[in-house]
Amino acid sequence: MAQDPILLRRYFYEVIDMQYIKLGDCAKIKFCSLTPSRSKQQTAPSRWLVCANFLADNDVVNKPTVNNVVPDDEWALNKHDIVVKRITPTFVNYIDFEPGEVFCGNNLIIVTPNLKGDAKYLAMFLNEKIRELSKESSIGAVMKSISRYDLESLEVPYPDEKRRYLLGELWYHGIELKKKRIRLAELENLRTNYLIKKSIQISGGRDNG
């Protein structure tokens, strides 16, 4: 299913008497901050995902770093969570896999929807709004960032459950289709290069014979 922004908006704004709900009322928002006072050490190692693990197009490099910092249980990452970078965010990441016992590192925000069925929908909405939100919450700052107040008070259009589900699925599968097309193009390029190389080897072998 292709991701068509025009189709998304058309379907979305067909809703009559749209209700709005604050993000803080439909999700739990957890700021991960490893301050010196909270960076206590332990003997057993723990696994962490840092900002560099979260890429655009909902890609997550699930290769945690390991250290002996005592983790806060609220920083544990779970399936259906939405991860936002606090500093200069340009996209969000919807967690569509079981991460295991992994924690989010410094300067990451975990948004856990109250209803798991809303996760993709909220990820879609946040992905559209995150740049705008970071600009508004950091006037005069050298590096743009997101404040807890601005994130919690963000008003989310909240249509009926069916529309939330369909819009979230459309957004998610649109990104997945984009990634599959990119991967297909990469494989086609590898195939073409292989055939060209093989043809050159065969042609050279005949000339030498």
Q: How far is it, in rounded angstroms, from Cα 128 to Cα 175?
A: 13
- Residue 165 near residue 114, CB atoms below 8 Å: no
Q: What is the pLDDT of residue 149?
A: 93
Q: How far is it, in rounded angstroms, from Cα 110 to Cα 32?
A: 8
Q: What is the pLDDT of residue 184?
A: 73
- How many residues are listed for the chain in this entry? 209
Q: What φ, ψ does residue 172 adopt, rounded to 5°?
A: -65, -50
Give the residue numbers spanning the domain of 24: 5-181
Domain count, the chain: 1
Tell me how far CA of residue 66 lies from CA of 21, 44, 207, in angstroms.
38, 10, 56
The pLDDT of 91-111, averaged and rounded, is 95
Q: What is the pLDDT of residue 98?
A: 94
Q: What is the pLDDT of residue 9?
A: 58
Q: Is residue 192 part of a domain?
A: no
The most confident of the ranges 128-137, 181-190, 195-204 is 128-137
Q: Is residue 69 part of a domain?
A: yes
pTM above 0.85, yes or no: no
Q: CATH number of the domain that 43 lies in?
A: 3.90.220.20
Task: List the single range of 2-16, 69-83, 111-125 with lowest mean pLDDT.
Answer: 2-16
Q: Is residue 27 part of a domain?
A: yes
Q: Which of 102, 103, 95, 55 is nearest to 79 (CA)?
A: 95
Tell me how far CA of residue 96 lies from CA of 59, 172, 190, 194, in angstroms.
10, 10, 29, 34
Q: Is residue 107 part of a domain?
A: yes
pLDDT digit string, tens, across residues 23-47: 999 999 999 987 655 677 788 899 9
Q: Is 69 helix (H, G, I), strand (E, B) or coil?
A: strand
Burial label, 169 (beta-carbon count in 10 A; 0-12, 13-18, 19+): middle
**pLDDT range class, residue 15, cuts 50, 70, 90:** low
Q: Is residue 193 part of a domain?
A: no
Q: How far is it, in rounded angstroms, from Cα 122 to Cα 102?
A: 22
pLDDT digit string, tens, across residues 57-91: 999 999 999 988 888 889 999 999 999 999 999 99
> How crowded is residue 50: how many other Cβ atoms within 10 Å of its Cβ?
15
Bigger pLDDT: 49 vs 139: 49
Q: Is residue 188 part of a domain?
A: no
**199 pLDDT more than 70:** yes
**pLDDT range class, residue 209, cuts 50, 70, 90:** very low
**pLDDT range class, residue 120, cuts 50, 70, 90:** very high
**174 pLDDT more than 80:** yes
Q: What is the pLDDT of residue 1?
A: 43
Tell me how far CA of residue 23 lies from CA of 87, 96, 193, in angstroms.
19, 20, 49
Q: Is residue 14 part of a domain?
A: yes
Q: Is residue 204 part of a domain?
A: no
